[in-house]
A and B are shown apart, each in its own frame.
Chain A
Amino acid sequence: MSEIDTPAGDQPIWERDFPYEAVAEEEVTRREFTRYLVLGAGTMAAANVGLAVWTQLRSINTGEPRAIVALADVAVGDSYLFRYPAERDPAVLLRLDEREVVAFSQKCTHLGCVVYYQAEEERWHCPCHEGNFNTRTGAVLSGPPTRPLGRIDVEIRDDGQIWAVGRRQ
């Protein structure tokens, strides 16, 4: 065999001499395309599991115990806005009587709008879709929500402060 006829690597001699490429060579085969789809499906499944884990970990009632406000600073029937367990989590407490307070996440369990206390109706109200919740328990009274408000366990301590105790629901 002469030097001219020696193939360079795996490339055939004819292809070296006539470097012609068909358009179809650039196309992705059906199997490759579907493999990309399966890879995408796997990625989205992993993202879904990650979101579920994150949702589980950021439960509203599992923060560090801390003082929220002095009891004397909240009149009976008044509500007080605070953030718990993290700064990004809006929450609200309500002083029911002299020695009783309740606190909930301010996020409506329907689509996450902010609820507020309606004193005249004695209920938590979500203005986005007219969801209403029981003042003491956070249970759904009416509207589209199907789950109660996220409760935050609070207690009045001897120092006169209202504390979020960070207990598991």
Chain B
Amino acid sequence: MRTSERGRRTSSAVSLYVIILVAFQVFLLTVAVEAFQTDHESLAWSSAAVSVVLAGAAAAFLRYLRP
């Protein structure tokens, strides 16, 4: 496989991975809303912590994306 082809595939994989992370963020937001409605503080904080980590991971992956 040529280098440019491998680079393009890597970039596509990074984009796809970020899409999956964002989809997971949507799920976590629904969990947080449910925790809010049932006054479940520990669940709300857990959801927020995972969400922040995922957002950080998505930002980190952006660095590896080719222009």
Give A contacts to B, CB under 8 Å: 29-31, 33-35, 37-38, 40-42, 44-45, 47-49, 51-52, 54-56, 58-60, 105, 107-112, 147, 150
Contact = CB atoms under 8 A, between A and B. Distances in A.
B25 A34 contact: no
Interface residues of B, number: 37
Contacts of A29: 67
Given A38-B18, A38-B59, A48-B47, A54 B54 contact: no
Contact of A52 (B18, B47, B62, B65): B47
Contacts of A60: 39
Interface in B1-32: 11-12, 14-15, 18-19, 21-22, 25-26, 28-29, 32
A110 B38 contact: yes
A44 B26 contact: yes
Contacts of B14: 34
Interface string B42-63: 0011011001101100110110
Given A34-B65, A48-B52, A59 B58 contact: no
Contact of B12 (A30, A54, A110): A30
A112 B55 contact: no
B32 A37 contact: no
Given A37-B19, A51-B32, A52-B44, 6 more contacts: A31-B62, A34-B18, A37-B18, A38-B62, A58-B39, A147-B40
